[in-house]
Amino acid sequence: MPKILAYTPPFLLRQSPGFDFFQPSANSSGKQDVGKKIDGPIRTIATRGTEVFAVVGGEIRWSDLVLLKERWEEKEQKSKNGPQRKEGGPNRRGTGGNEEEEKSYRILKVPISSHLPIRQLIISPCTSYLAILTSHTAHVAILPPSTALTAADTSPIRPRAFQLGPTSHVLETSPIVSALWHPLSPPGISCLVTVTKDATIRLWELNPANRQSFSEPALAIDLQKLANATSYSSEEDVSASRYGDKKGFSPDDVDMEVAAACFAGQGAEGENGWASMTVWFAMTQGDVYALCPFLPSRWAPTATIVPSLSTAVVAKKVALENGEKEVGEHERMVYEAQYAWLSDIDAQEPIVVSSGRCHEEAEVYHRPSHPGPMPKLQGPFAIAGAGDSELEFGNITDIHVIAARMGEEELMSGEQDAGTEDEESVSVAVVCLTSSSGNVYVCLDLEGVEGQWLPKQTKSHSSLATPDSDDFAGPSLLLLETVDLMTVSQPTESSYPMFTPDPMTSSVFHVTLPTGIYTLSLDWMQDLEDELATTDAAGSNFRIGLWLETAKAKVTKSAKIDPDQTAGSDTFVVPACIALWDSDLGHMLLTHDSTHQPHAVTLETPTRYAAFAPVNDTRITDNELPQLQLEARPPYLPPQSFFEQSQLPALLESVDKRRRETEIKYSPAVLKVLADAHRVLSAETYRLGLAAADLFRRCERLAEELKRDVVRQNDVTARIEAVIGDDEFTDEETDGGDMAVMKVGKERIEERVERARERRRELRDRAERLRARIAGFGGTELSVKERVWKDEVESLAARVLPPEREGDQIARPHDEQQRSGSLARRFDAVLRLKRDLVAHANELHAEDAEVHGAGDGLGESMRALRRQKVQQVLRLLERESALVEGVVERLGRLGGLG
């Protein structure tokens, strides 16, 4: 469970650029859903990295949270430095200082009817497209690059936009409940899946170069027809009805009313091979369906999908052929269809496509033509609870599926590293449902959804179209837990809970309610995976039973939204929050209430991302003492009532000027004016009173919490003082009745310190005695005269001996002025003279040998004379050297005796 580190940051509070980003402008003409009953999801906030797209007052705004934070920091720095007079120079975003040029956001102008409020914003996985949905219509806009935010121009941007399905998604047709970007879309073509309330799914293969791709879907399926179909042929049409076609009544119109849809996988490596091509549907009455495989005409699988599916399907095929597994005829047909479908993929030669913005490089396959493009609708799934009684779900509002993890043997057989698996996922899918009553139902898909197709209409397969109940059991889900997020006293009429997946880990997701944002953590997933991976069947029932008792989701209310302080709270649905992670912002959740006041919370970064977590600004320095770490406290958000303009001046202005100038008389007209003024004033003062009362209660609660924190800190301080010995307590009562206070703990510690010091002194004295005793073993101690003689010898040695000798323990002067005129200087001069004479003698000997070579007897005698002189000089030098070395040796011995 991630820990809450902080609540709404300062750059999103009032009087900040982030707060202004969510505030509607005075000239905004877009209509909101206030006053209408909301029967669909509201996802009016989308994110692209740190960039945020939000619907405010009917207009789509675009900004960057990091940019808003930097603007707030600049504003705070200017306020600290004091007001500075500008010389009319250009600012960062423009040349003037008006409000329009100081905006930290840009507006996206998309041609959407003003009377249809925007319900959903969905960013494509390649971040190139933005799907904009109203209750019945859909538009797709091509997003501008991020560099447009830092441009000096703050005028509205008119991106290239297309209306999706001008004859499919119109007011006369069924409302749109979900829009999903296909996770296996090929590069260059983004595939959008739209699901309407009447159980119709359409696949759009969008290509900006082909406007026809925005007008007609590439694949349209009516799930009601598909659920009742037993085979696929040209006579039995399961495609969606076109605009203007008459549709008769069917009981499935109620039972198969779609509430939400989602893909099981996100196209990530390590997921189950069927997950990214499986669409899950949640019906309003509680039924759950799955459609697999649902693929576009061209699709780009990840590096692990095809190898993992090949391993699993081929293994089943071999087991069937060898008779190792006994299955019914319907299951045999399913396995054969899977093998034929996979054989078609293996026979293809994939096309390597590169795209710089969406994918670096991907292999693109064509959708297999056999057994056919029309998959079978699997379901409804039987949800098995703790008892046999039928479960009452209420009105289902959203569905969230955590994809199953690919098995280790499938990864290794596909020559992929097993380390690509998600450590927090399990080998079974987790299906979560939420209802309007605020309940979250956590279910497990133990069997797994695999690809199934409708058989073709043939005589041999006609009897096998419908499976026998004895041979083939229907799909089911195991209801593991029901989490109640709302109490009975809270209003549920306008509740429309919505899921938001977490970008950091798959075992954590968030639920947005009118009362706030709830974070659910499924920490038991790893324990379940360990139990499923074990091969020891002994005691498995006991372990699973024990796990079922402890498998409870951890719930935290991350952000609190008070519906009593928001206008139109009885009909307004809080938009589904967005979850993002950035090294500058951290792990953040963000949404807003009906007064367009942002609510954010910063969560703890998981351990594996700790190296990239933002640095905490409140770090303790060396001169500061560590303070008591208190829990994060949400900041006080002033109600909108304090900032609303009074309607009384406008009311008085509407009164006829002639009546205001005449004498006031008791008349029905004056009574009507007074009644209208009283009605306006009473409503405004009532709201102000509630806001003031809430502020007063908060102040009182703050004072109480402060007292508790002081008591808590005093308690911690007393414990610390008890440890270090600074605690005080009374010992006995004196004659005057006062209690004598004694620092017994401190005295005890001081006594121990004093004993340690005394012990240290004793050890030091003992060491001195031992050293003196050891020194006495070499002879008696030196007398005073011997010490004086020793000092003289050391001084003489320092003057005679050179300081370059290593290992010499006699101190010598290193100053050149102190060495000048000493014996050491003379000794150095003799050594230099010796070197010069030897070199000169060698040169003369060489010259004589060269000139006279084999000369007469006179030359020979001269050479002998020279040799005699050189030898004489050498003997003198050797004698001098021996004399000096003898003196040095004697001085060394004398120094050793000292």
Model confidence pLDDT, tens digit, residues 561-593: 876 554 444 456 789 999 999 888 888 999 988
pLDDT band (50, 70, 90) for residue 87: very low
Q: Which of 297-306, 366-375, 458-467, 688-697 has the weakest average pLDDT?
A: 458-467
Closest by CA to 401, choosing from 494, 557, 577, 522, is 522
Residue 461 has pLDDT above 70, yes or no: no
Digit-coded pLDDT (tens) for 178-201: 999 999 998 888 899 999 998 999
- Percentage of the residues of the chain whose pLDDT score is greater than 70: 74
- pLDDT at position 385 over 50: yes
What phi and psi values does residue 350 have, to the nearest 5 degrees? -65, 150
Which residue intervals of 192-243 are DSSP H helices? 212-215, 223-228
Query: How many Å apart are CA 159 and CA 130, to the nearest integer?
Result: 10
pLDDT surpassing 50 at residue 35: no
Confidence of residue 280 (pLDDT cuts 50, 70, 90): very high
Tokens of 420: 């690509």
Contacts of 651-660 spanning 24+ positions with Cβ under 8 A: 651/676, 651/677, 651/680, 652/677
Interior/surface letters 601-634, b for 16+ CB within 10 angstroms, e for the rest: bbbebbeeeeeebeeeeeeeeeeeeeeeeeeeee
Q: Give me the pLDDT at residue 95, please.
A: 36
Can you give the pLDDT at residue 88? 41
CB atoms within 10 A of CB 282: 28
User: Residue 519: its pLDDT value, please?
Assistant: 92
Alpha carbon distance, N-terminus to C-terminus of the chain:
75
pLDDT attached to residue 469 = 47
Q: Please give the pLDDT value at position 55.
A: 93
Categorize the per-residue pLDDT at 289 as very low, low, confident or very high, splitting at 50, 70 and 90. Answer: very high
Say if CB 272 and CB 290 are below 8 A apart.
no
pLDDT(327) > 90: no
What pLDDT is recorded for position 109?
Answer: 92
What does CATH list as the number for 4-84+92-232+258-619+632-641?
2.130.10.10
Is the pLDDT at 490 greater than 60? The verdict is no
pLDDT surpasses 70 at 491: no
- The mean pLDDT of 809-816, rounded to a whole number, is 50
Rounded CA separation 409/723 (Å): 56
Answer for the pair 262, 434: CB distance below 8 angstroms, yes or no.
Answer: no
Residue 847 identity (one-letter amino acid): E
- If you ran DSSP here, which 8-state letter would residue 190 be given? E
Are the beta carbons of 252 and 229 closer than 8 angstroms? no
Instruction: Find, among 256, 137, 242, the residue nearest to 197 by Cα.
Output: 256
| Cβ neighbour number for residue 547 with a 10 Å cutoff | 14
User: Is the confidence at residue 274, as pLDDT, over 80?
Assistant: yes
Assess whether pLDDT exceeds 50 at residue 599: yes
| pLDDT the model gives residue 48 | 92
- Give the pLDDT confidence score for residue 162 in this predicted structure: 92
pLDDT over 60 (residue 285): yes
Domain positions in the chain are: 4-84+92-232+258-619+632-641, 784-897
Average pLDDT of the segment spanning 469-494: 69
pTM of the model: 0.72
Residues 45, 591 contacting (CB under 8 angstroms): yes
Residues pairing with 548 in the sheet: none
Kindly report which listed range (40-44, 516-520, 675-679, 799-803) carries the lowest average pLDDT score. Answer: 799-803
Please determine, for residue 97, whether its predicted confidence score (pLDDT) is greater than 80: no
| Parallel, antiparallel or unpaired: strands 439-445 and 200-206 | unpaired
Q: What is the mean pLDDT of the chain?
A: 77
Residue 888 has pLDDT above 90, yes or no: no
pLDDT for the residue numbered 810 = 47
Query: 891 pLDDT exceeds 50?
Result: yes
Q: What local confidence, expressed as pLDDT, does residue 258 receive?
A: 93
Which residue has tokens 């049409």? 237
Given pLDDT bands bounded at 50, 70 and 90, which one contains residue 382? Answer: confident
Element (H, E) at 477: strand 476-484
User: Over 80: is that where the pLDDT of 386 sits?
Assistant: no
Average pLDDT over residues 833-842: 85
- Mean pLDDT value of segment 763-783: 79
Q: What is the pLDDT of residue 712?
A: 85
pLDDT at 896: 62
What span, in angstroms and rounded, lies between the C-alpha atoms of 614 and 833?
73
Q: Which amino acid is at 826?
A: R
Residue whose C-alpha is closest to residue 254's, from 288, 285, 228, 287:
285
Angle between helix axes 857-897 and 784-800 (nearest 10 degrees) is 150
pLDDT above 80: residue 400:
yes
